[in-house]
């Protein structure tokens, strides 16, 4: 049966329309184990710039057998539609000031082939600082079976946000190394990222000042450097989840930063001001430090043979 005639396609088209998106193309893909997938390319308009499109890939036999599946897909697409208005929808900033592109994820999850009791998805993280840097990390994100039980489905729309945030968190912790080439590096996603009591994902407890610093980093890199002054979404729920806060809180903090003259606000979109861009040296220095913590550190005393083993 052609993909255009499937229940999956009908549901996807419905969710896309409600989110204000159009489906540009539909094709059959393949997952890690070569099972068929349905791959959709979506955008806000039929003539959208390729950089302002998104790819959604689902198991071809995904059947929306739970009541929450279609509403959650629709909400995911609504957020993606808003994110597509950013100059670089595929770029995120870490708390340590490292702008990264998250790309080439091979959805959906597949069961580990190493015998581990986990589900895996592969992708790539690139340093995206406007210099065409070759530094990147190939990723193998692993979700434990226990963690998988709290998910609505092991598919892209239901897992992408927390997975991207787990990757950012892992980079913040210095547990991913940015290289010119290399093997896949693990990103463990366990129940430590989920509060069963609150029924919510938990990543990084932050102060108001830390959240303000994050927003300045985001606007500097995504608007000022990569966006050439184009506005960026300031209250992205994905960022709010990463910072353990709410979109409303991010909007409030952005208002304070606007009154300080550091960003210019129009609704929920922010652009970098000359005052913010004047701090370029500070942001570049923070970037260098953020990259430095991803590099393995060697104990010099052990290297010199001064430590008993």
pLDDT tens for residues 268-305?
999 999 999 999 999 999 999 999 998 876 444 433 44
Contact yes or no for 214/243 (Cβ under 8 A): yes
Q: With CA atoms as reference, report the closest residue to 125 among 170, 59, 72, 191.
A: 170
Contact yes or no for 158/112 (Cβ under 8 A): no
**218-262, pLDDT tens digit by residue?**
999 999 999 999 999 999 999 999 999 999 999 999 999 999 999
- The pLDDT confidence band at residue 104, using thresholds 50, 70 and 90, is very high
Query: Pick the residue with more confidence: 63 or 163?
Result: 163
Q: Which of 105-114, 144-153, 230-239 has the highest average model confidence (pLDDT)? A: 230-239
Q: Where are the domains of the chain?
A: 1-84, 208-292
- Note the pLDDT of residue 304: 44
- The pLDDT confidence band at residue 35, using thresholds 50, 70 and 90, is very high
Give, as one character, the DSSP assignment of residue 179.
B
Q: Is the pLDDT of residue 176 over 60?
A: yes
Cα 100 to Cα 136: distance, rounded to the nearest angstrom: 9
Q: Which helix (H) or strand (E) holds 76?
A: helix 69-83
Q: Which helix (H) or strand (E) holds 157?
A: helix 156-172
Mean pLDDT of all residues belonging to the chain:
92
- The pLDDT confidence band at residue 149, using thresholds 50, 70 and 90, is confident
- Note the pLDDT of residue 5: 57
Q: What is the reported pTM? A: 0.92
Cα 168 to Cα 81: distance, rounded to the nearest angstrom: 22
Cα 103 to Cα 45: distance, rounded to the nearest angstrom: 22
CATH number at 208-292: 1.10.10.10
């Amino acid at each position: 049966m052609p993909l255009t005639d499937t229940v999956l396609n009908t549901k996807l088209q419905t969710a896309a329309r409600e989110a204000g998106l159009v489906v540009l193309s539909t094709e059959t893909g393949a997952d890690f184990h070569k099972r068929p997938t349905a791959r959709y390319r979506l955008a806000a308009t039929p003539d959208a710039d390729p950089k302002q499109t998104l790819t959604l890939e689902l198991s071809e036999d995904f059947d929306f057998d739970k009541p929450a599946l279609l509403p959650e897909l629709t909400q995911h697409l609504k957020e993606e539609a808003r994110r597509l208005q950013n100059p670089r929808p595929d770029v995120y900033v870490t708390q340590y000031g490292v702008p990264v592109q998250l790309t080439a994820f091979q959805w959906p999850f597949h069961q580990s082939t190493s015998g581990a009791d986990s589900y895996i998805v592969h992708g790539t993280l690139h340093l995206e600082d406007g210099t065409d840097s070759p530094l990147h990390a190939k990723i193998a994100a692993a979700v434990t079976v226990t963690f998988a039980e709290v998910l609505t489905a092991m598919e892209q729309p239901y897992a992408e946000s927390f997975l991207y945030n787990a990757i950012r968190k892992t980079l913040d912790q210095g547990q991913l190394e940015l290289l010119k080439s290399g093997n896949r590096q693990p990103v463990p996603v366990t129940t430590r990222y989920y509060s069963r009591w609150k029924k919510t994902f938990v990543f990084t407890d932050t102060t108001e000042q830390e959240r303000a610093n994050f927003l300045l980093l985001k606007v500097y890199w995504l608007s000022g450097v990569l966006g050439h002054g184009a506005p960026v979404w300031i209250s992205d729920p994905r960022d709010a989840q990463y910072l353990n806060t709410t979109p409303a809180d991010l909007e409030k903090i952005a208002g304070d930063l606007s009154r300080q003259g550091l960003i210019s606000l129009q609704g929920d979109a922010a652009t970098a001001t000359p005052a913010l861009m004047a701090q370029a040296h500070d942001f570049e220095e923070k970037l260098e430090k953020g990259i430095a913590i991803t590099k393995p550190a060697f104990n010099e005393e052990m290297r010199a043979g001064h430590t008993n083993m």
